[in-house]
Amino acid sequence: MAPQRRTATKAPEGNGASERRNRSSTKKDRAPREVQRLWQRPWLRTAGLGAGLVLTALLLWSSLGADDGVAEVLARRGEVVAGRFIEVPCSEDYDSHRRFEGCTPRKCGRGVTDVVITRKEAERIRSIAEKGLSLGGSDGGASILDLHSGALSVGKHFVNLYRYFGDKIQNIFSEEDFQLYREVRQKVQLTIAEAFGISASSLHLTKPTFFSRINSTEARTAHDEYWHAHVDKVTYGSFDYTSLLYLSDYLEDFGGGRFVFMEEGANKTVEPRAGRISFFTSGSENLHRVEKVHWGTRYAITIAFSCNPDHGIEDPTFP
């Protein structure tokens, strides 16, 4: 279900294997000669060379990855990722904030999973975003809806939809919508906690946590400019773990709009897929950007967590 913690389970095996290797190497190096004899059999040599070529081709293919040959793909739209985790060294960004042992990242990295939120759930949660955003929408290509604060993009500004629409909001959203929102938030929180080996209760939902709807319309204000590379912890000091739940499909619902982890030498992309959770530690070890959307409409929800309880926010409740 959640990303595998390979490092933790592998360590003891690895030690055992190297001990065995050390013991057998004292037996006068019998193994290498056997290997040499085997290697002299022509069919084995051919098979070996064949395997080598296939391996080289596979390595080349995976390093080139994307069609544009520029970025590696961490998760493709068409695959179902059962849990993928890549550890990266933590940046020093966390040092300038209060540390919460057992929560503040000591293990950093990024993960993707398609098996925590079903596509059906993603569809239902997307309809919450559609309903809410149909009440407003930015003049530019990027609109947000924040059910916690009530912020909704309208034209070049934001309104508080709870204040603006008052009781009418009960005709738009339902109790079940808010229930689902809470369940999804909970599942995402558990996924992050498991992947980083921390307790879920040490994570506090923080702001901004919001729906986004992006289309190809040109930006009108700075709020519409979502595509710049940034570090979440620099933008929002409270963030320690960031997650995205995608609610539409790359190349089915929209073009462009891939998520890109920016690294020297090789950018790594996550292709959005409805129900896919992408999550990562919020420091500059995970500098990232979102490509401009070229066509269609891209829906996602950003769910952020802080280790500092003072930065915690409540789940939204049905008004």
Ligand X SMILES: *[C@@H]1O[C@H](CO)[C@@H](O)[C@H](O)[C@H]1NC(C)=O
Interface segment toward ligand X; rule CB under 6 A; list 6-14, 166-174, 262-270, 308-316: 262-270
Nearest C-alpha neighbor of 230 from the set 283, 280, 266, 301: 283
Question: Contact between 216 and ligand X (CB under 6 A)?
Answer: yes
Least Å from the CB of residue 266 to ligand X: 6
DSSP tally for the chain: helices H, then strands E: 7, 16
Pairing of strands 108-113, 84-88: antiparallel
Question: Contact between 138 and ligand X (CB under 6 A)?
Answer: yes
Task: State which of positions 74-133 bind ligand X (CB under 6 A).
Answer: none
**Cβ proximity to ligand X, 98 vs 228, nearer residue:** 228
Q: How far apart are CA 97 and CA 92, in angstroms?
A: 10
Least Å from the CB of residue 247 to ligand X: 16
49, 70, 80, 200: which one binds ligand X (CB under 6 A): 70
Question: Contact between 262 and ligand X (CB under 6 A)?
Answer: yes
Question: Contact between 266 and ligand X (CB under 6 A)?
Answer: yes
Interface segment toward ligand X; rule CB under 6 A; list 28-36, 78-86, 93-101, 260-268: 260-268
Question: Contact between 4 and ligand X (CB under 6 A)?
Answer: no
The β-bridge partners of 260 are 269, 289
Task: State which of positions 166-205 bind ligand X (CB under 6 A).
Answer: none
Nearest C-alpha neighbor of 88 from the set 200, 216, 195, 205: 195
Question: Contact between 217 and ligand X (CB under 6 A)?
Answer: yes
**Cβ proximity to ligand X, 3 vs 296, nearer residue:** 296
91, 104, 113, 143: which one binds ligand X (CB under 6 A): 143
Least Å from the CB of residue 214 to ligand X: 8
State the Cα torsion 22-26-28-31 to the nearest 10°. -20
Task: State which of positions 27-56 bind ligand X (CB under 6 A).
Answer: none
Q: How far apart are CA 264 and CA 279, in angstroms?
A: 20
The β-bridge partners of 278 are 112, 244
**Cβ proximity to ligand X, 39 vs 295, nearer residue:** 295
Q: Which residues contact 172 (CB under 8 A, 6 or more apart)?
A: 131, 132, 135, 165
104, 113, 215, 238: which one binds ligand X (CB under 6 A): 215
Interface segment toward ligand X; rule CB under 6 A; list 72-80, 97-105, 212-220, 299-307: 212-220
SS3 (DSSP) at 269: strand
**Cβ proximity to ligand X, 241 vs 250, nearer residue:** 250
Q: How far apart are CA 281 and CA 85, in angstroms?
A: 12
Q: How far apart are CA 219 and CA 225, in angstroms?
A: 6
**Cβ proximity to ligand X, 4 vs 216, nearer residue:** 216
Q: How far apart are CA 269 and CA 160, in angstroms?
A: 34
Task: Please say whether the beta carbons of 212 and 144 come within 8 A.
Answer: yes
Interface segment toward ligand X; rule CB under 6 A; list 28-36, 135-143, 280-288, 298-306: 135-143
Pairing of strands 298-306, 204-214: antiparallel
Instruction: Report the residue closest to ligand X, judged by CB.
Output: 137
Question: Contact between 248 and ligand X (CB under 6 A)?
Answer: no
99 is catalytic: no
For residue 240 the two structure tokens come to 């320690």
Rounded to 5°, the CA angle 133-259-134 comes to 5
Q: Which residues are identified as catalytic? A: 298
Binding residues vs ligand X (CB under 6 A): 70-71, 137-138, 141, 143, 215-217, 262, 265-267
